[in-house]
Amino acid sequence: MNWLFWCLLILIGIELIIQYCIIRAAYPVLYAPLPDRFQLAGTLNTLPDDESGIQIESVSFPSVDGLTLRGLLALPAQSPPRGVILFCHPFRLSGQIGLYQCRGLLDAGFAVLTFDFRNHGKSDQDPNYKSVHWLSELELYDTRAAIRYLRQHAELKELPLGLLGMCRGAAAALSVATRKPEIQYIACEGAFINESLFLDHAIRWGERFLPRLFIQLVPTWEVTRAFRIMVWFTQRRQGCRFVNLKPLLRNLENRKLLFFVGEKDQSVVPCMSDQIIGRIHHSETTLCSLPDAVHNAGRFAQQELYDQRLVEFFSQMVETQEKAATDAADPGVKSGSALVSHQ
């Protein structure tokens, strides 16, 4: 039995050495900014104003832990809104950019609520939280607070609600929707799973310094385990708990999903969306590829296509609710039709 003990001890030692080497090499990637970030702030000079037929008002509401979140509520000025869209912005930007991203929806008669996550824009700062581009439970708290605000708004609470998110905001929208089955329509750009994104960046980082063959010899599960160890150790320092989206995706069955994918996105490469879609079963998923688009620049690169797909997608949400309301108001129509058909 002694030889079994020593073999086990040697294997544990080898595993610890491997994990130490991976962590030592990959830790700089963990909190490094995403490369090739498109400066969406440059689009702020094209934001709509009240003179364009859109009424914009500043709003605020509390998050679950008492922080005040601030944002903008945009409404069509000439007619009641058809539906309402909650926009979740990317890391390091503010919710104000949602007015640019949702311009096509605003022109099509939708209301849009776009807000600043904590530690962003005009929302309160959480002194205990060091936000990074990884999705944490705190972004989920803030997104749920925004949904709660809409569901308590006198003019909007009965309207169909859809979510639109970008990058970390897309991951937040997907995560929140997994526990809110009433949200049936979610659109995303640059969505990712934390550990999948880390794995992709770690491999590309490693190929700068090590032969590709050596990188390929390292099992994927070893890198994934190293990521989980690093995250576990750093969560307390960051003041949050990071969210693993992967096991939650099975709860998005029977939803309507739209994924925008920038063909030239080097921060969240196109296969990230494929990985998410592959884990969602029995859903109606549309993948919209955007030529020449880099990270967070889908609408900037393909404005007409982007707006068209968004309006078509969320118009289905409105039509579905209108049909359900019609059926509920006159339940005899369907049964009567069935009776005639049977005769």
Question: What pLDDT was estimated at residue 223?
Answer: 76
Distance, in Å, from the CA atom of 169 to the CA atom of 6, rounded to the nearest integer, reads 49
Quick check: helix, strand or coil at residue 216? helix
pLDDT at 215 over 70: no
Q: Would you list the DSSP string of 115-152?
A: EPPTTSTTSPP-TT----SS-BHHHHHHHHHHHHHHHT
155-178 confidence digits (pLDDT tens): 999 999 999 999 999 999 999 999
* φ and ψ of 177, to 5 deg: -65, -25
Structure tokens at 246: 């992967």
pLDDT per position as a tens digit, 272-309: 999 899 888 777 899 999 999 988 889 999 999 999 99
Q: What is the per-residue pLDDT across 1-32, written as a single tens digit (0 to 9) for each? A: 577 767 777 777 767 776 666 666 666 666 66
Kindly state the tokens that stand for 162.
């859809």
Q: Do the Cβ atoms of 273 and 259 come closer than 8 Å?
A: yes
Token pair for residue 305?
A: 């296509």
Closest among 318, 328, 314, 326 to 158, alpha carbons compared = 318
- Compute the mean pLDDT over every residue in the chain, rounded to the nearest whole number: 84
The number of C-alpha atoms within 13 Å of 295 and in the hemisphere containing its C-beta is 19
For residue 46, count CB atoms less than 10 angstroms from its CB and return exposed for 0-12, middle for 13-18, buried for 19 or more: exposed
pLDDT value of residue 23: 66
Q: Are 317 and 110 in contact (CB under 8 A)?
A: no
| Residue 101, pLDDT score | 93
- Residue 97's pLDDT band, with cuts at 50, 70 and 90, is very high
Residue 43: pLDDT over 60: no
Domains plus CATH for the chain? 54-194+246-326 (3.40.50.1820)
What amino acid is encoded at 74 in this protein? Answer: A
Q: For 254, left (φ over 0), alpha (ψ -120 to 50), or beta?
A: left
Residue 195 has pLDDT above 60, yes or no: yes
pLDDT at 201 over 90: no
What's this model's pTM, rounded to 2 decimal places? Answer: 0.85
For residue 337, the model assigns a pLDDT of 42
Q: Give CA–CA dist 212/156, Å, rounded.
A: 54
Q: Which two tokens stand for residue 49?
A: 């104003």
Between CA 333 and CA 343 the distance in angstroms is 16
Q: What digits encode the pLDDT tens for the residues 108-140? A: 999 999 999 999 999 999 999 998 888 999 999
Angle at 300 between CA 297 and CA 302, to 5 degrees: 100
